[in-house]
Amino acid sequence: MAAARRAYWKGYLKLSLVTAPVALYPASSQAEKTHFHQINRKTGNRLRQQMVDEKTGKVVDKDDKSRGYEVSKGKYVEIEPDEIKAIQVESTHTIDIAKFVPADEIDRRYYDNAYYIVPDGKAGEEAFAVIRDAMKDKGRVALASIVLTNREHIIAIEPFGKGMLGTTLRYDYEVRDEKELFRGVPSPKIPKEMVSLASHILDTKSGHFDPSQFKDEFELELRKLVKRKASGKTIEAPEEQEKPSNVIDLMEALRRSVKGKRAAALQSASPSKKTKRKPAGGSSKKRKARAA
């Protein structure tokens, strides 16, 4: 799989004195989603964006484009790409494992992008397997630093089948504190019967995570819409549905939900009308035997 794709990053995975050359491949892709281009409504031709100087209004040539950091209002310090490359950190070409932590200690809000990690060449396969299997035995996740797109990231590495899964983590300053938002959330006293009814509904909907069961309904309908439009059919927007009222009897809604679930369960459990019932008294052979 990995050999047919282009590696997103290549370097070395290092654990103390053990080093293994590795390659990273994105674990997800947006390529299958339906994408749109901007077009000219009059000609049907695709539009191309241009960079315009906000003061002169003139189009800026590609060679004249640069990046700058705003040090004060309207004043920028220009930073050249070569100057950014001057920032040399060890993680530019090496993933040096700093520590191992229990997986459940990593707050899910910190998880960002996932990558498959595989050995890069025959020479490092044994070292790669040693690091992978050691983590598997201990049930731990490795934390290290890595430079991707000129930025240093923390990456959590764990065994994943024959390879490893590396997930970049957000820094502490990137994760917003929930306390300010949650402070205003009320804590009403909920009757035990309500909680019991809700718990029953949860039990009827319990299951296991299977991503294949979830379908992107909007994406599927969008493809159908594009196909219909391309064939010359007129697309009409459906009438707006009446929004449900926010004023509900919560207890009654829970009770009706439970009744609906029980009725559905009884219906699925009842024998089919087409099922043939055995004649009373057993088979004809047994009846003849008893008669004799």
Chain centroid to CA 43: 38
* 239 domain-assigned: no
* 246 domain-assigned: no
One digit per residue, the tens of pLDDT, for the chain of length 292 reads: 444 588 999 999 999 888 999 999 999 988 888 889 999 999 999 999 899 998 999 999 988 999 898 999 989 999 887 787 777 666 678 999 999 999 899 999 999 999 999 999 898 899 999 999 999 988 899 999 999 987 899 999 999 999 999 999 999 999 999 998 899 898 888 888 888 888 888 888 788 878 788 887 878 888 888 888 888 888 887 777 776 665 567 778 778 887 776 666 666 666 554 444 444 444 444 444 444 3
Closest CA to 127 of 1, 13, 24: 13
* 138 domain-assigned: yes
- pLDDT given at position 283: 47
* 242 domain-assigned: no
Rg over CA atoms, the chain: 31
The CATH code of the domain that includes 13 is 2.40.290.10
Q: What domain count does the chain have?
A: 1
* 212 domain-assigned: no
Question: Angle CA(169)–CA(103)–CA(91) in degrees, nearest 5?
Answer: 40
Residue 131 exposure: Cα atoms within 13 Å on the Cβ side: 31
- pLDDT given at position 245: 62
Residue 248, φ and ψ in degrees, nearest 5: -135, 155
* 111 domain-assigned: yes
Cα–Cα separations (whole angstroms), residue 111 to 46, 135, 167, 175, 254: 37, 19, 7, 10, 35
- pLDDT given at position 195: 86
CA–CA gap between residue 21 and residue 116 (Å, rounded)? 14
Domain of residue 95 covers 2-29+87-171
SS3 of residue 87 by DSSP: coil
* 106 domain-assigned: yes
Tell me the longest C-alpha to C-alpha distance in the chain: 112
* 135 domain-assigned: yes
- pLDDT given at position 268: 64
